[in-house]
C-alpha cells in the first residue's frame, strides 16, 4: 500500500509498504479520507520526539474509512462498516482515562502522532483504540470528507465545553482558519448571540462569512476599540483565541465583559509561551481563563451525531481534495492558508 511516512524534520516520504497485519483483537480499515491538520504541518516542519530515520510513523490523525477485516475476537463491528477513527489512546486505568479523557493520559499515544495514522491506504486500529470507543460507525448520509474532520470539530467542542457558551452571549473568535470557523459553527449550535470574528487576513474572514453569513467581522487592527463600540462598552462574554499568537492572548483580557470566559485554544510555540497581562482585569471582572487540547472519543461521537442529524454541516470546510500520490502538493496548498481544510481522498470499494 501507499503511505506517507515522517522520518524527522522536513523529511516526509511517500512509500510503498505492506498492508498492516492485525491481531485477533484489532481491525483493519481501508482508508476513505484523511485530512491535513495544522499540527501535521508543524510535525513536518519541526519533527517530533521519538521519530527519526529508524522510527518513522505514518502521519495523519483525522481519518475515516471502511472496515476491511476484523480480528476474530472483535465484536460490534464488521467488514463493510463505514467508520471514523478518533486518534487518542490512553493507558485505560489512570484517573483521566477512567473519566474518558484518554487524551489527557500520562501515557498518551495517538495515531498519526506517535504511532501509525491515516495517510495510508490501510489503517490498523489497535486493540486499545477499539476498547476506548475510538471507532465510530458513520451513516451513509455522511460523506467521507466530513467524517475525516470529526476530530478537529471534536477538539473545538472540547474547548467550548470548558468555557460554556450560554444563550444569547456575545462570542468573539480570533483567528479565521478552519478552527475559527468550527468555533463559529459550534457556538451557533450552543445558542450564542452575536458571533464576532477577527483576523489580520481579510480573505480568510471573507471565506468564513461565506460559510456563516451572520458572522460579524471586526477590525483586527483596532480590536479593543471595535469590540467596545459594538458591545456598548461592555466587552464580549466569551473570547476564543484560535491562533498561535501571544499578542492575541495578551489582548484578550481587555476585551471581556464581566464574568467573561476566555479560551486559549491555539497553543503558542514552545519556549515562546510566556505572556503578560493586567491581572486586575481578571480580578475585577471575575474572568475565567481556560485551556483545551485535543479531544476525547465521546466528543468525536457527539460531533458524529450532530452531523448525522443535519445540525452541523462540515461540507463547506473542505476546500481542496488530493490523492495520496499528490501529498506534497496537498501540503503546499494546506500550508498556503488559502483554503480551510485539505483532504486526502482514497478510492474505496464503496466509491467514497
Interface residues toward Zn ion, by CB under 5 A: 37, 90-91, 94, 97, 105, 152
Nearer to Zn ion by Cβ, of 98 and 258: the residue is: 98
Report whether 321 contacts 345 (CB < 8 A): yes
Nearer to Zn ion by Cβ, of 22 and 344: the residue is: 344
- Taking the complex as a whole, how short is the minimal distance between the CB of residue 289 and Zn ion, in angstroms? 23
- Taking the complex as a whole, how short is the minimal distance between the CB of residue 155 and Zn ion, in angstroms? 7
- Taking the complex as a whole, how short is the minimal distance between the CB of residue 320 and Zn ion, in angstroms? 17
Nearer to Zn ion by Cβ, of 37 and 57: the residue is: 37
Nearer to Zn ion by Cβ, of 105 and 176: the residue is: 105
Nearer to Zn ion by Cβ, of 183 and 261: the residue is: 183
- Taking the complex as a whole, how short is the minimal distance between the CB of residue 108 and Zn ion, in angstroms? 7
- Residue carrying the nine cell digits 483525522: 62
Beta partners for residue 137, in sequence order:
83
Closest CA to 345 of 149, 139, 140: 149
Using CA atoms, how far residue 304 sits from 69, 241, 317, in Å, is: 23, 25, 16
Show the beta-strand stretches assigned E in the chain.
2-8, 11-16, 27-36, 57-58, 62-70, 82-85, 88-89, 109-110, 122-125, 135-137, 171-174, 195-198, 216-217, 236-241, 256-264, 288-291, 318-322, 341-345
- Taking the complex as a whole, how short is the minimal distance between the CB of residue 252 and Zn ion, in angstroms? 23
Give the span between the Cα atoms of 194 and 319, in whole angstroms: 26
Amino acid at each position: 500500500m501507499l503511505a506517507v511516512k515522517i522520518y524527522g524534520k522536513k523529511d516526509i516520504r511517500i512509500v510503498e509498504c505492506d498492508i498492516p497485519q492485525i491481531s485477533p483483537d484489532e481491525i483493519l480499515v481501508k482508508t476513505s479520507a484523511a485530512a491535513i491538520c495544522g499540527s501535521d504541518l508543524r510535525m513536518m516542519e519541526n519533527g517530533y520526539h521519538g521519530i527519526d530515520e529508524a522510527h518513522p510513523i505514518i502521519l495523519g490523525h483525522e481519518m475515516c474509512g471502511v472496515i476491511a477485516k476484523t480480528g476474530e475476537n472483535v465484536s460490534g463491528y464488521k467488514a463493510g462498516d463505514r467508520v471514523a477513527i478518533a486518534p487518542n489512546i490512553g493507558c485505560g486505568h489512570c484517573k483521566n482515562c477512567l473519566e474518558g479523557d484518554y487524551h489527557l493520559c500520562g501515557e498518551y499515544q495517538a495515531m498519526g502522532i506517535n504511532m501509525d495514522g491515516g495517510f495510508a491506504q490501510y489503517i490498523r486500529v489497535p486493540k486499545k483504540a477499539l476498547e476506548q470507543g475510538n471507532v465510530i460507525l458513520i451513516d451513509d448520509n455522511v460523506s467521507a470528507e466530513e467524517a475525516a474532520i470529526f476530530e478537529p470539530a471534536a477538539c473545538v467542542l472540547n474547548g467550548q465545553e470548558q468555557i460554556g457558551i450560554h444563550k444569547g452571549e456575545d462570542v468573539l473568535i480570533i483567528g479565521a482558519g478552519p478552527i475559527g470557523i468550527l468555533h463559529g459553527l459550534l457556538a451557533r449550535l450552543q445558542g450564542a448571540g452575536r458571533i464576532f470574528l477577527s483576523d489580520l487576513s481579510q480573505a480568510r474572514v471573507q471565506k468564513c462569512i461565506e460559510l456563516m453569513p451572520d458572522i460579524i467581522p471586526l477590525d483586527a487592527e483596532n480590536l479593543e476599540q471595535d469590540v467596545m463600540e459594538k458591545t456598548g462598552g461592555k466587552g464580549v462574554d466569551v473570547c476564543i483565541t484560535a491562533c498561535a499568537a501571544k499578542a492575541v492572548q495578551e489582548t484578550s483580557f481587555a476585551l471581556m465583559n464581566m464574568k467573561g470566559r476566555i479560551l486559549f485554544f491555539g497553543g503558542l510555540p514552545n519556549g515562546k509561551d510566556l505572556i503578560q497581562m493586567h491581572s486586575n482585569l481578571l480580578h475585577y471582572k471575575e474572568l475565567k481563563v481556560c485551556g483545551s487540547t485535543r479531544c476525547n472519543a465521546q466528543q468525536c461521537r457527539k460531533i458524529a451525531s450532530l452531523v448525522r442529524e443535519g445540525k452541523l454541516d462540515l461540507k463547506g470546510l473542505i476546500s481542496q481534495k488530493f490523492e495520496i500520490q499528490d501529498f506534497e502538493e496537498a501540503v503546499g496548498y494546506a500550508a498556503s492558508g488559502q483554503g480551510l481544510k485539505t483532504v486526502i481522498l482514497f478510492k474505496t470499494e464503496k466509491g467514497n
